[in-house]
A and B are shown apart, each in its own frame.
Chain A
Amino acid sequence: MNLKNKLTNGEFSVIAEMSTPKGVDISDLVTSARNLKSRVDAVVIPDMDNGVMHMSAIAGAALVRQQGIEPMIHVYGRDRNRMALQGDMLAAHVLGIPNLLVVQGEEMSLGDHQDAKLVDDLNERDILVMVDTLKKGSDLAGFELKGSPDFFAGCQVNPMTDDKDLDAEFNRAKEKVDAGAQFIIVPPVFDINSYTPILEKFKSLDVPVIATVFLLKNVGMARYISINDPGSRLTDALITRIRTAKDRETECIAVAGEMIQALGKVVHGVKISAMGWEDRLPAILDSAGI
């Protein structure tokens, strides 16, 4: 069953994140994708992840499709105007990419091509409207398409530090759902107890909610997140757990596996971000019993 049907049927779905290379060596991507065949429902490919120039997501997604996995790509407006975005959407459809995740592009000044020119023609909401328009058979200028694409398009929620952020993100997510978003992906969950009320709030929008599971790779990373992103709700207990573990790497994988299990009782799916440790994705799934 494809991702869309599974999520709409209320079945727990698993999405793994994989980046395209900065270069043309696709071996890691292809190998990681092959190892996940029949184990995940989709692989999501970010585009210019974190504002860093990479191979475009469409090519990565086409490669993932060749390995027999359903792909999803990030779509955002920082680098492409409405012409380029629409052209890419048509291309994505014919290359077998059925899922889109409309995101906010990273600030140019935080990426690796800070001297690039900003486009920002369409924002996330506009892009969702654009996707909906294409699905209905015409482009944004009102011209009829010869064959219209079909997509399962969702949106992403940004990290939230406090209740004010939560309200703002909730309202934004609502706007995006009204504009056509069919699922929502929420930021990484590190503490299921404090995060459950947030997840429940987003579930009230009546579209499937997918929570991000972020693989902590070491104590330093956990500390960094807990200090720099108070919205992560990452607890000292978790840091201690990783720090005192005999085999920290195995512990990190177990932490991610347990989080997937816990989230299975709260949300409709998870997106696993392994941040360069895609080769450990099968181990994370094993640990989650998937």
Chain B
Amino acid sequence: MITAEQKPIEEIIEYIAPYDRILLVGCNECVTVCAAGGRKEVGLLASALHLHSLKQGKTVDIKEITLERQCDPEYVEELVSLIDSADAILSMACGCGVQTIAGRYKDKPVYPAVNTKFMGASESQGIWAERCKGCGDCLLGVTGGVCPVARCSKQLMNGPCGGTSNGQCEISPDTDCAWRLIWERLKALGMEKRYIEVMVAKDWRPAGGGGPRRIVREDLT
């Protein structure tokens, strides 16, 4: 999923300061799962903003709504009936959601209330970690299901660097060395030979080297 974290409240306040009527829009997908921008966070942020404006001796009208998927034009359409009663939109979705709204409601300013972080997975309750950089040419089939692009700090493609220590990455004892994980997986699968095979320099074109990427599925268009 795409992970996100709420922006510092001061930054959000600065964005919305010029407006009296805010439409605060959450998203029911990834940002709900990582507790950054779902219905619950929308409610909490609305209260925090109300409180702040009361302290300033002002009142701000905040309408709350959480869409099924903010990166999907079909759901973003649901804002049509609310849009005229707002001066600005504050989105708690990832950058994809913010941009879908900005693309649909061209005359309304849209501000992000979260920082979109990475594509990751939950490691344990309350901890998410990066797992994929969307390189467009997935290597997991040859690296035992552990990604060296997203999980090796140096994006090494042929084994660990000299800094790996006790199986951890040299950048921090909290970070697993991706190549230790790859080796352990390949060994457990009896695929040690894969480890020896040299990977050629990666083709970064599918990773966005040629500009913004698109997927066009003729059968669906």
Q: Give the interface of A toward B (CB within 8 A).
A: 107-109, 114-118
B208-A109 in contact (CB<8A) = no
* Main SS class of interface, A: loop
User: Which of chain A's residues have a CB closer than 8 A to the CB of B201?
Assistant: 115
| B104 is an interface residue with CB less than 8 A from chain A | no
CA distance A107 to B208 in the complex (A): 12
CA distance A114 to B202 in the complex (A): 11
User: Which of chain A's residues have a CB closer than 8 A to the CB of B209?
Assistant: 108-109, 114-118
- Per-position contact with A for B202-221: 1 when CB-CB < 8 Å, else 0? 11110111110000000000
Q: A115-B205, A117-B202 are in contact. List 10 more A-B contacts (CB 8 A).
A: A107-B210, A107-B211, A115-B201, A115-B202, A117-B204, A117-B207, A117-B209, A118-B204, A118-B208, A118-B209
Provide a sorted-by-A list of 22 A–B residue pairs whose CB atoms are within 8 angstroms.
A107-B210, A107-B211, A108-B210, A109-B205, A109-B210, A109-B211, A114-B205, A114-B209, A114-B210, A115-B201, A115-B202, A115-B203, A115-B205, A116-B204, A116-B209, A117-B202, A117-B204, A117-B207, A117-B209, A118-B204, A118-B208, A118-B209
User: Which of chain A's residues have a CB closer than 8 A to the CB of B207?
Assistant: 117
Find the A residue at minimum CB distance from B155: A117
Q: Give the interface of B toward A (CB within 8 A).
A: 201-205, 207-211
User: Which of chain B's residues have a CB closer than 8 A to the CB of A109?
Assistant: 205, 209-211
Query: Which of A114, A117, A118: most chain B Cβ within 10 A?
Result: A117
For residue B199, give the distance in angstroms from its CB to the closest CB of chain A: 13
User: Which of chain A's residues have a CB closer than 8 A to the CB of B202?
Assistant: 115, 117
A-B CB proximity, top 6 nearest: A109-B210, A115-B203, A117-B204, A108-B209, A118-B209, A115-B205
Find the B residue at minimum CB distance from A108: B209
CA distance A118 to B202 in the complex (A): 12
CA distance A109 to B204 in the complex (A): 10
Find the B residue at minimum CB distance from A118: B209
User: Which of chain A's residues have a CB closer than 8 A to the CB of B208?
Assistant: 118
Find the B residue at minimum CB distance from A115: B203
The tally of CB-CB contacts under 8 A between chains A and B is 26
User: Which of chain A's residues have a CB closer than 8 A to the CB of B210?
Assistant: 107-109, 114
CA distance A133 to B3 in the complex (A): 37
For residue A220, give the distance in angstroms from its CB to the closest CB of chain B: 28
CA distance A95 to B210 in the complex (A): 34
CA distance A237 to B152 in the complex (A): 60
Find the A residue at minimum CB distance from B207: A117
User: Which of chain B's residues have a CB closer than 8 A to the CB of A107?
Assistant: 210-211
Find the A residue at minimum CB distance from B200: A115
CA distance A107 to B205 in the complex (A): 12
User: Which of chain A's residues have a CB closer than 8 A to the CB of B205?
Assistant: 109, 114-115
CA distance A115 to B205 in the complex (A): 5
User: Which of chain A's residues have a CB closer than 8 A to the CB of B211?
Assistant: 107, 109
For residue A288, give the distance in angstroms from its CB to the closest CB of chain B: 40
CA distance A114 to B204 in the complex (A): 8
CA distance A137 to B196 in the complex (A): 47
For residue A79, give the distance in angstroms from its CB to the closest CB of chain B: 12
For residue A278, give the distance in angstroms from its CB to the closest CB of chain B: 31
CA distance A114 to B207 in the complex (A): 11
User: Which of chain B's residues have a CB closer than 8 A to the CB of A114?
Assistant: 205, 209-210
CA distance A220 to B55 in the complex (A): 72
CA distance A251 to B56 in the complex (A): 75
Find the A residue at minimum CB distance from B201: A115
For residue B100, give the distance in angstroms from its CB to the closest CB of chain A: 25
For residue A185, give the distance in angstroms from its CB to the closest CB of chain B: 26
Query: Which of B201, B202, B204: most chain A Cβ within 10 A?
Result: B204
For residue B209, give the distance in angstroms from its CB to the closest CB of chain A: 5
CA distance A116 to B206 in the complex (A): 11
CA distance A117 to B157 in the complex (A): 14
CA distance A181 to B201 in the complex (A): 37
User: Which of chain A's residues have a CB closer than 8 A to the CB of B203?
Assistant: 115
User: Which of chain B's residues have a CB closer than 8 A to the CB of A117?
Assistant: 202, 204, 207, 209
CA distance A118 to B208 in the complex (A): 8
User: Which of chain B's residues have a CB closer than 8 A to the CB of A116?
Assistant: 204, 209
CA distance A118 to B207 in the complex (A): 10
Find the A residue at minimum CB distance from B208: A118
User: Which of chain B's residues have a CB closer than 8 A to the CB of A108?
Assistant: 209-210
CA distance A93 to B109 in the complex (A): 47
For residue B202, give the distance in angstroms from its CB to the closest CB of chain A: 8
Find the A residue at minimum CB distance from B210: A109
CA distance A108 to B205 in the complex (A): 9
For residue B150, give the distance in angstroms from its CB to the closest CB of chain A: 15
CA distance A46 to B189 in the complex (A): 51
For residue A81, give the distance in angstroms from its CB to the closest CB of chain B: 14
